[in-house]
């Protein structure tokens, strides 16, 4: 559950930059959004792997 919490925190932290990029055209904010999305992707994959591992172990 710790990784899931980190995922939620990351999403909320990028919200401001997403607004700056999409609504105000701030290119630097777009770069930060892209970086955060890559981190989200990696974290989501880790969570998927953990879920599969726990599911297959029978816990």
Rg (C-alpha) for the chain, rounded Å, is 15
Q: What is the C-alpha separation between 34 and 21, in angstroms, rounded?
A: 11
Q: What is the pTM of this model?
A: 0.81
Host domain of residue 50: 1-58
Cβ atoms of 36 and 6 within 8 Å: the answer is no
Q: Model confidence at 59, in pLDDT bands (50, 70, 90)?
A: low
Question: How many domains are contained in the chain?
Answer: 1
Indicate if the pLDDT at residue 1 is higher than 90. Answer: no
Average pLDDT over residues 48-59: 89
* 26: region left, alpha or beta (phi > 0 left; psi from -120 to 50 alpha): beta
């Amino acid at each position: 559950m710790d990784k899931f919490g980190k995922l939620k925190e990351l999403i909320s932290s990028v919200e401001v930059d997403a607004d700056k990029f999409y609504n105000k055209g701030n290119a630097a904010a777009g770069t930060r959004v892209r970086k955060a999305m890559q981190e989200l992707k990696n974290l989501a994959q880790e969570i998927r792997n953990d879920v599969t591992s726990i599911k297959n172990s029978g816990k």
